[in-house]
Amino acid sequence: MPAFSELKVKLFADGAELKVIAEMNKNPWIKGFTTNPTLMRKANITDYKAFSLEALKIVPDKPISFEVFSDDFSEMEAQAHEIASWGRNVYVKIPVSNTTGEFAGPLIKRLAVAGVQLNITAIMTPAQVTRVLACLNVTVPSFVSVFAGRIADSGRDPIPLMAECVRLLKTNPKAELIWASPRELLNIIQADAIGCHVITATNDVLAKLPNIGKNLDQYSLETVQMFRQDALKAGFNIELSKGKGKH
């Protein structure tokens, strides 16, 4: 079990609550941020641009990704240029396809040629990664987000697929692989072990970071103590039948 200080994978916080973003930005472990429309909706964001500009005031110098939300490639392109204009540290998230399954490659290529820093998202397979890499600009920083957590949700082991994606990205020194949608703290260790560049995590996963390398006997004792304290706080009581409970 590596110590946290030995991990090479970069941690990006994934969320859309300004208070949490501000807290995470103070954490030296957090090297960047990602958002998406689903997280924004859950956080009750109604003004996309206003939220994004406030987030950039909090995070002026670390990579931060904002996603286009049109389903039309021409409109996506216009949104991408607008989002990119908000800051030098902005990466524009482009889904690998639109909602009808049409590959976003031509759009990715146009934006990459224009020098837009991209984060290609919702990827699930090495074949998709190969197609995306063919469209990226090898002189412009970019992220390739593969949703390892969702791959695992399908019953597949994501590690071999992610390792293959790490290998594929060696053809583009400016592109970094993101292990997206992790489900547990162990995924951080797994991502580091295969040489993945970045892993995103929501606050509930990041909150478990102090547990890395924790003594399991101590963890066991703390768990027993937690169960006992919760039973007491709940006021649980079992009235024993006569003649039972003493042996």
Q: How far is CA 100 from CA 71, 74, 103, in A?
A: 9, 15, 9
Q: How confident is the prediction along the chain (247 residues), in pLDDT tens digits per residue?
A: 666 778 999 999 999 999 999 999 999 999 999 999 999 999 999 999 999 999 999 999 999 999 999 999 999 999 999 999 999 999 999 999 999 999 999 999 999 999 999 999 999 999 999 999 999 999 999 999 999 999 999 999 999 999 999 999 999 999 999 999 999 999 999 999 999 999 999 888 988 988 988 999 999 999 999 999 999 999 999 999 876 655 5
User: Using an 8 Å Cβ cutoff, are 124 and 97 in contact?
Assistant: no
Nearest to 119 by CA among 108, 127, 105, 130: 108
CA 94 to chain centre: 15
Angle at 42 between CA 104 and CA 88, to 5 degrees: 50
Question: 32, 1, 50: which is closest to 188 by C-alpha?
Answer: 1
Q: What is the pLDDT of residue 210?
A: 86
Could you give the 3-state DSSP secondary structure of residue 94? strand
Q: pLDDT at position 206, please? A: 87
Which residue, 33, 15, 9, is CA-closest to 192? 9
Task: Please give the pLDDT value at position 117.
Answer: 98
- CATH class for domain 4-208? alpha beta
pLDDT digits (tens, 9 = 90+) for 66-120: 999 999 999 999 999 999 999 999 999 999 999 999 999 999 999 999 999 999 9
pLDDT at 243: 67
DSSP string for 56-89: HHH-SSS-EEEE---SSHHHHHHHHHHHHTT-TT
Return mean pLDDT, the chain.
Answer: 95
Distance CA 22, CA 34 (A): 13
Do residues 142 and 178 touch, judged by C-beta distance below 8 A?
A: no
The amino acid sitting at 22 is A
